[in-house]
Structure 1
Amino acid sequence: NWARTFRWQPSRTYVPETDADVANLVRDARRARAVVRVVGARHSPSDIAATPDADAMLGRPGFAVRMHRMANIVHIDRARLTVTAQAGITLEALSVALDRAGLALENLGSIAEQTVAGSMATGTHGAGSRFGVLSSTALEIVLITGTGERRVLRRDDPDPDAFRAALCSLGCLGIVVQVTLRVVPAFQLAVVEGELDFATMAQQLPSLLAQSDHTRLWWMPPTDRVLAQYARRITPPAADASLPPPPTRPRPGWVRGSLIPHHLYEASLYAATWMPRLLAPLDPYAAIAHADAHSIPRGRSFEMFKLDCLFKQYVTEWCVPLADAARVLTALRDAIRAAGPAVAGAVHAPIEIRSVAADDALLSPATASSTPAATAAPFVYIGIITYRPYGADAPGRARYWALYEAILRQRGGRPHWAKAFPLGPAELARLYPETWATFQRVRASCDPDNVFTNAYVRRHL
């Protein structure tokens, strides 16, 4: 994967060009008793897409599928505000095409290189209490099941269970070949950045997250400093005559765009793997690396949503109800302080806090279950990171991860499916009491022979 935290070697790699190609490769795999997984942009910091040459437990060959030749726009409907695209298109390419048509995706995360189907399959999210995960905008999903059948799933189906399962499918229902998404008129984001302390953030978290359309908070441990980014939507741009035409986001200068985040900061973190006490003095560099993301205060939405991931890293992220988020963050700060030197070298900045609207996907970490998503309270994602400067692993990372996971487990947090996490089927079923059984029923119907069941799926489902 991108972070080099997992490696695998499939026995075959397929690059289909049509739906028929996908159906044929699935039938081939079924006859060969092979495991099939689609490999997107490989940004998931887990083995969710891994297809080993021979499955360690079942002795099955692994077939990888790359969808980059099925990456076209099928249709843009300006009147109905929808776009239909093949599953292999990246969010970047889709956003550029929509922008040319005067449209935009409603919300995006920080990474634009992901494929649209891969982003949906793992519940990828952005920021904003009024905006759900990417798949919450889906209207239709076309997939090839484990039997080679082509199924068209729609939000308005009389029995929507299969559609709701496909909204966050983990790649285990079939291979998605096409999606139709709801879009919005193109808009800009006007960004204001601020700074506050941890105590203020914890006391005012709900109001801070609601202060703008898209709020990102970055807590910068080992300090109590919190950086805030507030982004306001301007739709349509022409409605505000005081604004100039939307600028194209320029590349940052070499010092702030490359020297500090990609050289000085990485070298300093590498030194800190041996001397963790260096992390606190690194705070100014961390602030530049993470919060100096925009060299202009306003721009096209899809350009402003993006952030630089810098360099290789371990990352995990769990989701909790808004009402629990401040308590979780306070418990995490107290636990980090109590652990002291045992985790100090692995506690890298930032710890990112973002809110999302509830949704109706069966296994989305932000699912509202039986509560209508439109009336449910938002959820908050809390993500931690430990960089791997020059491939080096920071001491104490395993203990830091265990500390974080223990707190989130205690609060009933749900892990982001794209990340690596230790929960098995029994514990995950308790986190999705109203939807787990339905998802498993749909999965058995779509993939009766476990064609899409790799080690990740066996471990968690």
Structure 2
Amino acid sequence: MSTNVGENWARSYEYTAEALARPTSVGEVQDLVAAATRVRALGSRHSFTDLADSPGTLLSLERLDSPIDIDPQSRTVTVGGGVRYGDLATELQREGWALHNLASLPHISVAGAVATGTHGSGDTNGTLSSAVSALELVTASGELLTLHRGEPDFDGAVVALGALGIVTRVSLDIQPTFDVRQDLYDDLTFADLLADFDAVTSSAYSVSLFTDWLGDTLRTVWIKSRMDAAAPPERILGAPRQDVGRHMLPDQPAANVTQQGGIAGPWSDRLAHFKLGFTPSNGDELQSEYLVPRRNAIAAIEAVRSLGPRIAPLLLVTELRTMAADSLWLSGAYETDAVGIHFTWKPLAAEVRAVLPEIEALLLPLGARPHWGKVFSADRGDLEPLYPRLGEFRELAARLDPQRKFGNAFLERTVY
């Protein structure tokens, strides 16, 4: 057990936990949890706040002996919570299977991404959490609890912010493998986007729009098209397709991002934006994101544009993505199709935290839910109206963890 926990991957948060444990078996996880006074899981360190911290011990599952178990009959894969999506995707592809989607970064752990409602993109694609069919967790007593889709507590236990226990195994829906091509489009105007938002986001299996919020034109549009579906268009609302691939940040090398230029390849090498073996995104950065009900997407985009001159000096890039509704209580897409407005900020913590209340004053009245793993200023009073099942989640947490062994300052501020 180490006493030097260190920082998150972007070096924007330093953990305050007293110790870091790296168990190698589920039994060891059970023993550690049962003996602990305060304990939480630490994933791949891709959260940007104190969400994953603990006043006691942090418990990493990166060394957990947990094989990837594919069940062709049920079309599920069961995997250890600490496994990274990129590693899981490689193994699934090798065996002829696929997940429905991936987030921008393949570096993130399965349990951490699921617990925070992390997502990919696509009008008909749910969040990564929506693929969960079962999960196994170690509760505060050290007992092992398995929940399956359809059981009473399941929808409250998937996106659970680590508040219910240490998730040791997760079962995910899979499908037969498929190939994808990735294409870029330049010079899409805001006027055309806002006039026919649905036409843009429905133009491919997965669509991402990048902007700095200045001017009349977006920076670029990335679309990911399944090769078993219609070919991508030559133009999207007048924006021409580009032959040369590139990073979404102008000063970063294209070698860091997944293959573009319309070259087909397996889903595992295309659905994420970044390659597993390379530094994700910019590296030194902060991130914020707000998931807006799709019915309010146009109003939300117009609202953020009005803050463009305030936002742009602090910003590396904004990405807009879509996702389908789900039934998970603390999901940003709970009972609504949603549009994610994601901000990748320069590492200017004070300045970013100063502008977030201005952004939230415009977006939260439109129903925007902050991404749990990223930087936001809203507290429980702000979040309560946005999550109609938040009270039931507190009851579930009180039942499974009455002493708040898995609690921390983040949960006190936003949930409890």
User: Which amino acid counterpart does residue 178 of structure 2 have in structure 1?
Assistant: F
What residue is the counterpart of 2:259 in the other structure?
294
- Partner of 2:9 in structure 1? 2
Which residue in 1 is equivalent to 2:410? 456
1:331 matched to which residue of 2?
A: 303
Q: Is the 8 A contact 1:144 1:151 kept in 2?
A: yes
Aligned with residue 363 of structure 1, among 325, 330, 349: 330
C-alpha deviation, 1:200, in angstroms: 1.2
In 2, Cα distance between equivalents of 1:287 and 1:4 = 19
In the aligned structure 2, how far is the partner of 1:326 from the partner of 1:438? Answer: 31
Q: What is residue 46 of structure 2 aligned with on the other side?
A: 43
Among 12, 23, 27, the alignment partner of 2:30 is 23
Question: Contact 1:121–1:170 (CA<8 Å) still a contact in 2?
Answer: yes
Q: Equivalents in 2 of 1:169, 1:146: separation in Å?
A: 14
Which structure's CA Rg is the greater one?
Answer: 1
SS at match of 1:305: coil
In 2, Cα distance between equivalents of 1:6 and 1:291 = 24
Please state if 1:350 is matched with 2:329: no
Q: Mark the CA change 1:290 to 1:360 in structure 2 (over 3 Å): closer, same or farther.
A: farther
Aligned twin of 1:97: 91
Aligned equivalent of 1:206: 198
Deviation (angstroms), 1:431: 0.8
Change in Cα spacing, 1:398 to 1:423, as seen in structure 2 (3 Å) is: closer
Structure 1 residue 317 corresponds to structure 2 residue 289: yes
Distance 1:394 1:416 in 2: 17
1:290 Cα deviation from its structure 2 partner: 11
Q: How far apart are 1:316 and its partner, in Å?
A: 0.3
In structure 2, runs of 5+ residues without a counterpart are: 1-7, 232-243, 275-280
Which residue of structure 1 aligns with residue 173 of structure 2?
Answer: 182
- Measure, in 2, the Cα distance between the counterparts of 1:175 and 1:100: 29
SS of 1:97 mapped into structure 2: helix
Unaligned stretches of 5+ residues in structure 1:
56-61, 241-252, 266-284, 369-376
Change in Cα spacing, 1:306 to 1:360, as seen in structure 2 (3 Å) is same
1:154 — aligned with what? 148
* 1:141 CA displacement: 0.6
Classify 1:291/1:74 alpha carbon distance in 2 versus 1 (closer, same or farther; 3 Å). Answer: closer
Matches of residues 431-446 of structure 1 in structure 2 within 5 Å? 431-433=386-388, 435-446=389-400
Q: How far, CA to CA, are the matches of 1:399 and 1:289 in structure 2?
A: 32
TM-align CA RMSD: 2.6
Q: Is the 8 A contact 2:23 2:29 kept in 1?
A: yes
Question: What does 1:139-288 align with in structure 2 at a 5 Å threshold?
Answer: 139-157=133-151, 160=152, 162-195=153-186, 196-226=188-218, 227-235=220-228, 285=250
Matched-pair contact (CA < 8 Å) for 1:187–1:300: yes
Change (3 A) 1:10 1:349: closer
Per-residue CA deviations over 1:33-75 (Å, capped at 9, x if unaligned) read: 3x21111110111111112xxx4xxxxxx10101012253342
Q: For residues 290 and 427 of structure 1, do their structure 2 counterparts lie closer, same or farther at Cα, with a shift above 3 Å needed?
A: farther
Which residue does 1:133 correspond to in 2? Answer: 127
* C-alpha distance in 1 between matches for 2:349 and 2:399: 44
For the Cα contact (< 8 Å) 1:72–1:85, is it kept in 2? yes
Q: Deviations over 1:304-336 (max 9, x none)?
A: 122241221111000111121111111111233
- For 1:21 and 1:394, how far apart are their aligned partners in 2? 38
Change in Cα spacing, 1:140 to 1:256, as seen in structure 2 (3 Å) is: closer
1:120 aligns to 2:114 (yes or no): yes
User: CA distance change for structure 1 residues 28 and 408 in 2, over 3 Å: closer, same or farther?
Assistant: same
Question: Structure 1 residues 135, 454: closer, same or farther in 2, change over 3 A?
Answer: same
8 Å CA contact retained: 1:286, 1:349: no
* Residue 17 of structure 1: how far off its partner (Å): 1.8
The superposition leaves residues 209-247 of structure 1 with CA deviations (integer Å, 9 ceiling, x where unpaired) of 1121111111233333221112111349xxx9xxxxxxx
For 1:395 and 1:43, the matched residues in 2 are separated by 20
Q: Secondary structure at the match of 1:65?
A: strand
Q: Please, what TM-score do these two structures have when normalized by structure 1?
A: 0.79
**In 2 relative to 1, CA 156–216 (structure 1 residues): closer, same or farther, beyond 3 Å?**
same
1:368-447 → structure 2 map (5 Å cutoff): 368=335, 378-388=337-347, 393=348, 396-433=351-388, 435-447=389-401
**Worse overlay, 313-322 or 65-74:** 65-74
Alpha-carbon deviation of 1:412? 2.0
C-alpha deviation, 1:187, in angstroms: 0.9
Contact 1:344 1:396 in 2 (8 A): no
More helix by share: 1
Q: Any conservation in 2 of the 1:110–1:126 contact (CA below 8 Å)?
A: yes
2:304 & 2:252 partners in 1: Cα distance? 21
